[in-house]
Structure 1
């Protein structure tokens, strides 16, 4: 890596690490330098610029597009005008230097054409507050003098690059621009100078807002709309979550994210909430993920959940009609089809904000972007009036063919994408394998286990909190079960799939089995599965999206073996719950199925906890040979592992089994005596 690239990456990572400088995946940076033409061996001028879809905070060399400056500059001579500028993005491909690297972004022209060695384009809240103020041009002159120049709104593209380049040439004292309705651009002769200029613009704008802004930019607090106390607030959020997800997911599956930060709660309690929310966001990166505006559940926090749900139904239909009308007002014959009319952000006064996306990261980023928008509105309203770009321009961004092409290039979603799963007893053995496999297929997973530390460790092994979270749950306690389900709702916005896996076994003959032995196994497996299924079904019914409940039962639920009456009876209870609930919940689109494993010794928490030694003693084999012993008594002569059970659970809950319910799938390598009849 040459020094120019190393300095560019270091600057990008520093700037991108602070959300005050730019939003996730927003903005871009560049550096100009020299490289060697691989054909002629001569030095050529190059520009390295963050590529399409990358994030400054985590940018690596692979995320840079590298282009020949002479070729990019030559595009000026063939530029067909603003009406056909989208075609220039494809032309950038013919300016690339060497193999590999990221695809050039729409902002490449701004970086290449501006006569400066280093250029930053960022989306800071303070800068966008000035950019979206009704008198933003006047404020820019007042705050920055000749050092920063106002650029009227123009959609990102080749023409904007020409505009900024011309402004730089005409204003030799300028170190950057405020891009109307959009963000800022800064430049410098060195990487350090460009970064310093970027930070100076951001900090100068922030200092002006702090010094001159009104104390109550959102107006007075609406009586009765103050935030609920934290515990009550989060309980209300969990109660509303299934109903809100039903609203957000009518057109396509989504995962949710909940935010109740002070900035959000302040905005939701204010008298300007509804009119400002109606204006929507402004920065192009924002409403690509937040939609043109949010849905506001305009009921006081003291209202009951039932009142909220009743009001939500009408608001949702009105939102969908309004969004369709917005699309039809601005769509042209060449516009991409409407992507869905459900909100991506729902604001609930006194409670918080729910944001939605195809996965947790997308949902979380949408929420972060709307917090950016709140900060922008606060800043603009504090010194002026918030005045975002027009609805027509928002539509041009939201339904930009270049963005549509980017969506078409994305890989097909995995089988469980957009689904939220809760797996009990998932810190080890079968449960852990199931959680890993579901996450690998795109699901968000809540790992529930009696051992909270082990649950969290298992979740961290799978990935970040955008993928998996660990919670403590004693499935015999209805309160803890509800808390685990609430944790799923607050972490991921809903619940689609439950795996009843928690279990234990005490191997004893009838005469040695105590009442305590009987009770503890029935409490965990029979009662526990009932409590988890009941709590999950309430959520799934409220969502109206269907769902899956899977019981990890056992070959012993249908086969009589020696010295395990309590365990086998509890498993038989679970097996019949599958049939009963399949019959009861089918009308809600909820499938209930079971998996009957046998002989899962390696990696099993139950076998490691003493069951293995007991069963080995019953069969007269060394404990370390128990897995192979079980395998030899099967038709296939294969040992069953936790991963094989996870495969069955994943298949049963996939679209391929969409018409299957009430089924028990043996995962025992073939035990003829346990064949289902």
Structure 2
């Protein structure tokens, strides 16, 4: 495959334009293709090829490396060996024998559609407006009314080789057509040039949208439902944060999940209308939608002003019913060859007046699931506005959800990282030890909330670690009870819950007993003793409500057990933190929450504390230059090694990772060996 091939260049550019606009298709949904010729390096002769977006790629970010490349002559020859509908899945393996050279990306299930349709350029997309027509009860008649004979109706058929044959036949029989509506699914368009295919795709999408806008009834979801209107923004986010731990526990009974919260207008308007219970129960239709959202959501059937306790109790009841219902769905449709049930918990939870919680194996998957359900709401609005929403039946949904090819795709996924699905809050994480810890936890798969006094610095540190699907920055003074609660609320709204808390925020003033003022004493105790208490208390409420266990780690100090000069307030508060570890380990163990500590020696390099004056003060105490302080500390240790932030981060990972699941109440020294600080 050559990036210089004009067909490839045009295909990638077209794909990126189409995929960049959510009205055209959802994330990672749909596929595009182009046909052309290249010189076969073996024969030196021209060979006809089809380039098609590979399995799992996203149109908006597609590059030439994401294209599967197949020989057209061999693809077309598959028609002669096609064993029929009952064995069409075998054709996916046959695509491997059609690859040109190394073949590029893995061919997707829709490859047959692109190879068999007799057009140089083909687009298959999942626009909300097109799916609205595709899922209307009278979709075939609507297609005729909206498009005349320029767009042809194709009855629902599961994606695969037979659907490719069907569309190829329909195109051949309708030379005037520029595309088709795929019942229950989406659209396909074609063109003689890349520009023509793109124009035809956009025309189909925009024509459907214009028709829906012009002909829809005023209240597609029915009149407002009394008591179900959206709460004001602050109230709904407060309630969302209060419910999030319970909702995450509901979504994580079978396996831990990361969450995403949205209170978009589409969601709130849907939940405020009379028909939302009926429509939600019908589930989604487009395969891309329900593969990521499950066949239907869990919907809290209480008004917006219902109290948190009442809502929690009802959510628990509804979860039991949901699991029973999903097990029934599986049992009704499974065959002896079906993969085992993958879990009966909901991936979408809807709370009237508040919003939507969506879940997945990581933040991106959870966020995309929520975006897909918003797509589904738009589809339902369009279909109900001009007809009646009629998604494909549950047997067809099951055939796709538990498709052997889908199962094979899941089995090919790489093994998760050790901290995958875990959500961490690290205080004082914009610099030094905290930043190193946050970076390490994210590298091992965790989602990380970086809390710091400076919002700007917290957000900058988060941006360096990764995008908002990996890390977010929040502002918070750990000595302020309200700000601590806001930090924890921000964490559960960012990622759905909380699993791991690192009490790292701190400061230090190096003064003798007589020089230490009450203000000095109070400041250090407020930040580290009271601050750790406040953070741990707020976090423990979430951890207990989730019922998933968890970890709390204190970054204490060797000074918690070592008596050094001119350090009364700092060392005393570190001893306080060290005993908090023991106290909380004893109290929270029954909830599966481990509490441990890390005792570093002076970490000079990269430290905000040392850079803020503490380094100069300690250097003066020991009679060395400030730039030599790290080496001074190293030389007084048994190992003669300087302690760096990364060493503390490694200790935290050891405590919270998969290898110390039965350890609580422990302090790990990270001091290169200070005999006076040995634990006894």
Q: Do these two structures clear the TM 0.5 threshold for a shared fold by scoring above it?
A: yes
Equivalent of 2:42 in 32, 39, 46 = 39
1:187 equivalent in alignment to 2:193? no
Residue 567 of structure 1: aligned partner: 570
1:229 aligned to 2:239?
A: no
Residue 335 (structure 1) aligned with residue 376 (structure 2): no
Which residue number in structure 2 is paired with residue 519 of structure 1? 522
In 2: Cα distance, 1:639 partner to 1:80 partner: 69
1:229-308 paired onto structure 2 within 5 Å:
229-308=232-311
User: Tell me, which stretches of 5 or more residues in structure 2 are unaligned?
Assistant: none
1:623 paired residue number: 626
Q: Choose the corresponding residue for 1:578, options 577, 581, 585.
A: 581
Instruction: Choose the corresponding residue for 2:19, options 9, 12, 16.
Output: 16
Aligned counterparts, 1:307-326, within 5 A: 307-326=310-329
Q: Deviations over 1:70-102 (max 9, x none)?
A: 111111111101111111111111111112621
Distance in 2 (alpha carbons) for counterparts of 1:561 and 1:233 = 50
Superposed CA deviations along residues 201-245 of structure 1, whole A, max 9, x for unmatched, are: 000000000000111000011111111111101101011000100
What residue is the counterpart of 2:391 in the other structure? 388
Alignment check: 8 A CA contact 1:449 1:474 kept: yes
Q: Which residue of 2 aligns with 1:613?
A: 616
CA contact (8 A) 1:25 1:54 kept: yes
Give 1:4 deviation, angstroms.
1.1
Residues 390-469 of structure 1 aligned to structure 2 (within 5 Å): 390-469=393-472
Q: Which residue of 2 aligns with 1:158?
A: 161
Q: Which residue of structure 2 aligns with residue 361 of structure 1?
A: 364
Aligned to 1:539: 542
Secondary structure at the aligned position of 1:316 is classed as helix
The answer to whether the aligner puts 1:507 opposite 2:510 as a matched pair is yes
Contact 2:171 2:177 in 1 (8 A): yes
Q: Which deviates further from its counterpart, 286-295 or 649-658?
A: 649-658
Deviation of 1:169 after TM superposition, in Å, equals 0.4
Separation (CA, whole Å) in 2 of partners of 1:379 and 1:17:
22
User: CA RMSD, aligned part only?
Assistant: 0.6
| 1:16-56 deviation digits (Å, cap 9, x = unpaired) | 00111000000000000001212112110000000000000
Match of 1:103 in 2: 106
CA distance in structure 1 between the aligned counterparts of 2:301 and 2:573, rounded to whole angstroms: 48
Instruction: Say whether residues 1:375 and 2:372 are aligned partners.
Output: no
Residue aligning to 2:69: 66
Shift of 1:639: 1.0
1:78 to 2:81 alignment: yes
Partners of 2:70 and 2:103 within 8 A in 1: no
Structure 1, residues 628-650: CA drift from partner, whole Å, max 9, x if none? 11111111111111011011111
SS across alignment from 1:97: strand
The answer (yes or no) to whether the contact 1:327–1:395 under 8 Å persists in 2 is yes
Mapped partners of 1:99, 1:430: distance in 2: 46
- Decide which of 616, 638, 656 is 2:641's aligned counterpart: 638
Instruction: Give the C-alpha shift of residue 599 in structure 1.
Output: 2.1
Does 2:491 match 1:488? yes
1:125 to 111, 128, 132: 128
Contact 1:133 1:387 in 2 (8 A): yes
Maintained 8 Å contact 2:285/2:392: yes
Cα distance in 2 between the residues matched to 1:558 and 1:39: 74
Provide the C-alpha distance between the structure 2 equivalents of 1:36 and 1:628, rounded to a whole number of angstroms: 64
SS of the equivalent of 1:655 reads: coil
2:672 maps to 669
TM-score for the superposition, normalised by structure 1? 1.00
Which secondary structure does the structure 2 equivalent of 1:657 belong to?
coil
| Cα distance per residue 1:356-405 (max 9 Å; x no partner) | 00000000000000000000000000000000001000000111111110
Cα distance in 1 for residues equivalent to 2:650 and 2:487 = 24
Contact 1:599 1:631 in 2 (8 A): no
**Among 167, 173, 179, the residue aligned to 1:170:** 173
Partner Cα separation in structure 2 for residue 315 and residue 640 of structure 1: 52
Residue 302 of structure 1 deviates from its aligned partner by 1.3
Deviation string, structure 1 residues 247-291 (Cα, Å, up to 9, x no partner): 000010101111111111010011111110000000000000000
Q: 1: CA distance between counterparts of 2:274 and 2:481?
A: 40
- Distance in 1 between residues matched to 2:99 and 2:41, nearest whole Å: 12
SS of residue in 1 equivalent to 2:189:
strand
> Unaligned 5+ residue runs, structure 1?
none
Q: Which residue number in structure 2 is paired with residue 214 of structure 1?
A: 217
Residues 459-508 of structure 1, C-alpha deviation per residue, up to 9 Å, x if partnerless? 11111111111010000000000000000111111011000000000001
In structure 1, C-alpha distance between the alignment counterparts of 2:576 and 2:279, rounded to whole Å:
55
Q: What secondary structure does 2:101 align onto?
A: coil
Partner Cα separation in structure 2 for residue 36 and residue 600 of structure 1: 62
Q: Is the 8 A contact 2:512 2:567 kept in 1?
A: yes
Q: SS in structure 2 opposite 1:502?
A: coil
The number of residues matched between the two structures is 677
Aligned counterpart in structure 2 of residue 479 of structure 1, from 472, 478, 482: 482
1:93 aligns with 2:96: yes
Q: Which runs of 4+ in 1 moved over 4 A?
A: none
What TM-score results when the alignment is normalised by the length of structure 2? Answer: 0.99
CA distance in 2 between partners of 1:111 and 1:100 (Å): 16
The separation in 1 between residues aligned to 2:373 and 2:248, in whole angstroms, is 18
CA distance in 1, matches of 2:367, 2:556: 36
Q: Distance in 2 between matches of 1:608 and 1:281?
A: 55
Cα distance between partner residues in 2 of 1:365 and 1:184? 21
SS at match of 1:20: coil
